[in-house]
Chain A
């Protein structure tokens, strides 16, 4: 394990809401409130992640899968005695890890957010549900995809019947797509400037 003593400052400055981490008093309420703890889904609780940031465990934090597991249930935020916007800090760290190229590209939430969901929405300006679902099911190969598809078959048919799922993979671009693109480009430009990549 290496301790990078500049890491905490880096996070306070560059990761969204990261500066709040210095306010954490390590009480454990967030960890005790997080549903993921009960499911055994995490290795590090939010409290531990914050402690690790402060201790300078750069790689352990940025490569951790735990930030990607947050369900945004907000249990932690409402209970934190020190008013830390924990959910947002956790999402900020996840994004920061992704931008830094440290997040595992195969981490399912990461992969879904970065590749599948993002590409899907950027292509047309709206979510194409069928394509999105297909891509998600088949992301681990044909076999896995068919297996998952069969498992979810009844739900999918039900949703189709109730008109909750649009069958056609491609419904074309939204009205004013060029404006949407221009907005995205501007956002990228601002982001890159902030991250010093301009």
Chain B
């Protein structure tokens, strides 16, 4: 451990999205040891699935790349992927965390040469792209993946094919017999940064997602607009592959609604405005319609809204649609509702409808804090208390810059806790 810091002074950061990465880097760069635990095979979290960032419409990879460089150059940060914290006992300044790391079946010797994937015959629905395409059973998720090492799903690792692939790897990195590892660590404070998942759009029955091919979600749309994504960046209809030029966005799909998520997810208005620019840039003759209750482009983002409002190809309708039907002949989704500014009813067909679904905190379901006295707010976001601090979207719905700010704050508070504990 760098300069003999006591083990209890290590900061445990759980979740390696933009928030967890930020906390880890900020704490380590001012001299504290960090253990960063990520559940999936790679770091980066949800932002790696974004095509561009509002408001600058730049690529998320550039901010991530800087963070990865800072991590690689910092000996104070220890990384674990495919790992989850099973239990945290003790109190602020003196916690013990039990961490289970699932097998990757590919060791750190992997150079990401891709030979194994080329040879691999088995394909699976690609969870990284929400199942929009297929992918080899041995893979990494995207070309910017960090760490870049490949991995296998456990079911595939048990097959004879996996054993055969092990013999062709030029560096002998494939280990189908790799086992899970459980470790215990003494840590002084814990930063929870397990982020969010898209709200399950199938639950919004009147909108027909899952029943109608041409009703999709904003996160799927991000993948579709990405030139490295499942359609190579083509904005097309899932039903027939035709260009989708007349596209509607439905705001607050599953948010601000007592039937679904009762809170405002804060980013989906801006996400739809951003996605409107994808459509308009792809097809100059495209027509975008945004159905909204009210637009929430928080504080300094109003200029972004003004910019999108300046585009004549974007239409704004103040209305939360009541339901979506499907024209069986064309496969066009038909959006039904009342324009609340005119009181007029509409039934309008589109090539494609994008549901602007919101954020459900993972800490409400799959990423509960395994501490006996962990607190949550009424929606399942983590409430900071004692030596536990919530960062980014595990504390509240947030955009990237807000998440980064809250993560820097968490780094500071986590440091204060370990310093106080030292006495």
Contact = CB atoms under 8 A, between A and B. Distances in A.
Interface of A: 25-33, 37-38, 44-45, 47-48, 78-79, 81-83
Contacts of A30: 322
Contact of A32 (B252, B256, B259, B322): B322
B254 to A, nearest CB: 10
B206 A79 contact: yes
Contacts of A28: 318-320, 322, 337-340
B47 interface: no
Given A32-B336, A81-B257, 17 more contacts: A25-B293, A26-B340, A27-B319, A29-B320, A29-B322, A29-B337, A31-B337, A31-B340, A31-B345, A32-B338, A32-B345, A37-B345, A48-B343, A79-B206, A79-B259, A82-B258, A83-B258
A32 to B, nearest CB: 3
Contacts of B259: 78-79, 81
Interface residues on B, range: 20 to 34
Contacts of B337: 28-29, 31-32
Contacts of A29: 320-322, 337
Contacts of A79: 206, 259, 322
Interface string B323-365: 1000000000000111110010100000000000000000000
15 contacts: A25-B256, A27-B293, A29-B320, A29-B321, A31-B337, A32-B322, A32-B323, A32-B338, A45-B343, A47-B340, A79-B206, A81-B252, A81-B256, A81-B259, A81-B320
Interface residues of A, dominant DSSP: helix
B211 to A, nearest CB: 17
Contacts of B345: 31-32, 37-38
Contacts of B321: 29, 32
B206 A47 contact: no
A28 B338 CA distance: 6
A78 B334 CA distance: 21
Interface in B229-265: 252, 256-259
B340 A27 contact: yes
A25 B320 CA distance: 10
A38 B256 CA distance: 26
A29 B337 CA distance: 7
Contact of A37 (B206, B320, B338): B338
Interface in B303-325: 318-323
Contacts of A83: 258
A45 B293 contact: no
A78 B321 CA distance: 14
